[in-house]
Amino acid sequence: MLRNWITVIGFSLITAISTNVYAKDLPDFTELAEKHGAEVVNISVTQNVRAGRNAMPFPGMEGDEQMQEFFKRFGIPGMPGMPGQNGAPQPDYKSQSLGSGFIISSDGYILTNAHVINEADEVIVKLSDKREFKAKIIGADKRTDVALVKIEASGLPKVTIGDSSKLKVGEWVAAIGSPFGLENTMTAGIVSAKGRALPQENFVPFIQTDVAINPGNSGGPLFNLAGEVVGINSQIYSRSGGSMGLSFAIPIDVAIDISNQLKASGKITRGWLGIAIQEITKELAESFGMKNTNGALVAGVEKNGPADKGGLEAGDVITKFDGKPIMSSADLPRAVGSTKPGKIAAVEILRKGSAKTLNIGVGEMPNDSNEAAQSNKPESKAEANKIGLTLKELTPQQKKKLNGKNGLLVIDSAGLAAQAGIRRGDVILGLNNSETQSVEQFNKQINAVASGKTIAVLVLRGENTLYVPIKVAK
């Protein structure tokens, strides 16, 4: 009996000690919430919706702010002109959505997401002490999803800006915001990854966390344990619209740079080369005779753009830009975008296996991209080549749209080409580092490729160019 009691007491003591040690290892967020909650604001956006302008896709949701925020950011876009239940057009109404933000200066400058205040007719900022102010939009940058607004107030509590470059994977972080309109809600987690590149988000090296972020958190701050803001909560990965443990924040250094430009001029100036790039896969590296997949592959060069004038060509691999190593294609837009237009930048490249350095004058990124087009008319009498492509040469009118370049229109794709993703309507611009001249020449080049070797076919699709690797069958 005594032995059993000793065993029970010993087990309980070990459990209590281990629990106490574990509790001591966990961070305490209470001080952070008490000291910094007042620096976070609730943002309410009103949009005057007219019939045919961004109408909600389902009647009866006009007053449901949570569902509107869900559809606006994470769900289905509005369907203009959607009829009501009786078949008549919907009447005009006010659409409202919610977001978060944080005060960066005591005189009323507030950072949030660009998507939070997009197309807003009125922005209302609500402080933690329940005071409300009508805010003025200073500017917004959709490429980074950063916006700056201003309220007429003074003596406001402001955040302390941290250094996002010092964040480490596994470090504890916390978010404060208004998920589903529930003001000053805190959630916590760890940094899951850094420098995360997302589709269509080339200018932001996102901080990935497992902090619970939901609709309404957008634009709110991400704090480290020192109470410093290290990011702006911007996006989530979700199949349901709610948190699934994958959230993404804009690093605060990126956001502050954008806010400074917006405050100074109301617009953002970025460097620009005028090229299309793509990631280098193992197959593409093999086709270009490269030893690794480092760098950004130039898939297209805009005629008379900065890169064209500086001597950059399709097929070049950029390994360093203005002294900054380019390890992947995601590194290049950030390096170029942060470069002041007009600067002469040294660009190190690999061209047909040889290293070269080009000095290129960086241009200013235009607001609207140039459009390229091609015809998609079917032609059926040509024969398929070795990799399954049936091609025809472009007409003079089609060549004119390509600035006089030669190209071959894909009128059918089968076999190896179809498996690699080339489809009808694409335009073939080149093979490896050689431009196409004619269907006959291209097919001869294909026939000369040894079995088992990988080739890189340069394809134009819409206004985008990309290399497609194809391994020729044995």
Residue 334, H or E segment? helix 331-337
pLDDT in tens, the chain (474 residues): 555 545 555 555 555 544 454 455 778 899 999 999 999 999 999 877 654 444 444 444 444 444 454 444 444 444 444 444 444 555 556 667 889 999 999 999 999 999 999 888 899 999 999 999 999 999 999 889 999 999 999 999 999 999 999 999 999 999 999 998 899 999 999 999 998 877 666 789 999 999 999 889 999 999 999 999 999 999 887 666 666 778 999 999 999 999 999 999 888 889 999 888 888 988 888 888 888 999 999 988 888 889 999 999 989 999 999 999 999 888 898 899 989 999 999 999 999 889 999 999 999 987 643 333 333 333 445 688 888 899 988 877 677 667 667 888 898 888 888 888 888 888 998 888 788 888 888 888 888 888 888 888 998 887 778 888 988 876
Number of Cα atoms under 13 Å in the Cβ half of residue 419: 9
- The number of beta carbons lying within 10 Å of the beta carbon of residue 268 is 19
Looking at the whole model, is its pTM more than 0.75? no
Residue owning tokens 């194809």? 470
Provide the annotated active-site residues. Answer: 115, 145, 218
Question: What does the alpha-carbon distance between residue 382 and residue 385 come to, in Å, rounded to a whole number?
Answer: 9
Q: Which of 204, 72, 65 is nearest to 142 (CA)?
A: 204
* Segments of 281-353 assigned E as strands: 296-301, 317-321, 324-325, 344-351
Q: What SS3 class is residue 23?
A: helix
CB 45 within 8 A of CB 116: yes
Q: Which two tokens stand for residue 74?
A: 């994470």
Residue 240, H or E segment? none
Q: Which of 450, 428, 424 is nearest to 441 (CA)?
A: 428
DSSP 8-state symbol, 39: G
CB 422 within 8 A of CB 458: no
CB-based contacts of 368, cutoff 8 Å, min separation 6: none
Residue owning tokens 């960086």? 362
Q: Max alpha carbon distance in the chain (Å)?
A: 101
Question: What does the alpha-carbon distance between residue 61 and residue 415 come to, in Å, rounded to a whole number?
Answer: 49
Q: Which two tokens stand for residue 285?
A: 């590296």
Q: Which two tokens stand for residue 61?
A: 């949701």
Question: What does the alpha-carbon distance between residue 287 and residue 470 come to, in Å, rounded to a whole number?
Answer: 9
